[in-house]
């Protein structure tokens, strides 16, 4: 088992990574927390697989909420459902909420934990690759509005994150592939060794080490910028155009991983338009296609531009783009709307 600690933030997070951790989750959880009750939130895909396996390990009252699976349900109405279940279960501030599932479940549950009774303890148990390498770590929680993705949320650190690579074996192939977008992102913005590991023909056999390197990178970034006002913005590589494409597809036409992959290609194309000594676009397209991710933006470019203007990363009249001109080094580049418009039309 590997262990990382995120400190220097509003609350310390311990992150454990190891095969078989889900079957021993309660023992690790009860070393950190002392709840009277536990409430587990899982979605309709994960609950049949792992909810009972986790709940049965605790020798104290356990309640649960099963939410519908999918980004379309990442709404305030779903959070209200969780609130009501927490009230019915008699949860107090000293009790524990566990997010068991992928990124959507983790974001919704984290926001519910951050705001119920003004904050109850939170443990993340991510069950998708995307959640394991990215969304479960760092304390970003939130839900979507019709106007855009993650426009309502809070920074709320989980005290404990348990990552079990074995659960990835039950993922549908496409769900695993989606997570690879965040893995490849980590390689381009901070650690090219990750790209080398992914380029190996049998990279899935090395997935535990890949997860560790991705989480370590994110831990280091978040420790320096918890509130996403500076360095942490580099984690948005691919997300600016990606979120716009997700919005235009009503969060159903593209998965998050597919959108990020397309967004990374768009960001690299913008980098080339602005001028760069090295064209990294062919290599990016190649590695994305090898793992099964899309690389072509099919949305109307004018619609993409207008969707970008409602993104939370917009600062006044500029949009912050994350550009990579050297593998392992990301740049935060504010682009004025009038400059950005022709760049988007030329994608």
Q: Which residues are annotated as a binding site for NAD(+)?
A: 103-107, 127-128, 140, 149
Q: Which residues are annotated as a binding site?
A: 103-107, 127-128, 140, 149, 182, 239, 256
Binding-site positions for Zn(2+) read 182, 239, 256
Cα–Cα distance, 222 to 156 (Å, whole number):
12
């Amino acid at each position: 088992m590997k262990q990382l600690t995120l400190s220097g933030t509003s609350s310390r997070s311990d992150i454990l990574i190891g095969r078989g951790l889900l079957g021993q989750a309660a023992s690790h959880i009860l070393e950190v927390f002392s709840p009277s009750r536990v409430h587990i939130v899982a979605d309709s895909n994960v609950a049949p697989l792992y909810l009972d396996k986790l709940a049965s390990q605790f020798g104290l009252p356990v309640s649960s909420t099963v939410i519908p699976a999918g980004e379309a349900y990442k709404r305030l109405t779903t959070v209200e459902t969780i609130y009501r279940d927490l009230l019915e279960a008699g949860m107090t501030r000293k009790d524990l909420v566990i997010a068991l599932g992928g990124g959507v479940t983790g974001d919704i549950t984290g926001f519910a934990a951050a705001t119920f009774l003004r904050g109850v303890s939170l443990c993340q148990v991510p069950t998708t690759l995307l959640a394991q390498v990215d969304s479960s770590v760092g304390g970003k929680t939130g839900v979507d509005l019709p106007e855009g993705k993650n426009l309502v949320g809070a920074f709320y650190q989980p005290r404990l994150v348990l990552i079990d690579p074995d659960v990835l074996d039950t993922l549908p192939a496409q769900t695993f592939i989606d997570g690879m977008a965040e893995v490849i992102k980590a390689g381009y913005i901070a650690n090219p060794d990750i790209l080398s590991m992914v380029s190996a023909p049998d990279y899935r056999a090395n997935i535990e080490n890949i997860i560790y390197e991705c989480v370590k990178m994110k831990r280091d970034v978040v420790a320096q910028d918890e509130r996403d006002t500076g360095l942490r913005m580099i984690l948005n590589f691919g997300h600016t155009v990606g979120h716009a494409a997700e919005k235009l597809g009503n969060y159903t036409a593209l998965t998050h991983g597919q959108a990020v992959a397309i967004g990374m290609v768009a960001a690299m194309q913008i980098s080339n338009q602005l001028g760069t000594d090295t064209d990294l676009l062919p290599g990016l397209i190649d590695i994305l296609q090898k793992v099964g991710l899309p690389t072509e933006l099919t949305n109307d470019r004018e619609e993409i531009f207008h969707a970008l203007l409602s993104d939370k990363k917009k600062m006044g009249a500029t949009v912050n783009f994350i550009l990579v001109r050297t593998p392992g080094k990301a740049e935060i580049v504010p682009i004025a709307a009038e400059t950005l418009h022709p760049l988007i039309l030329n994608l």
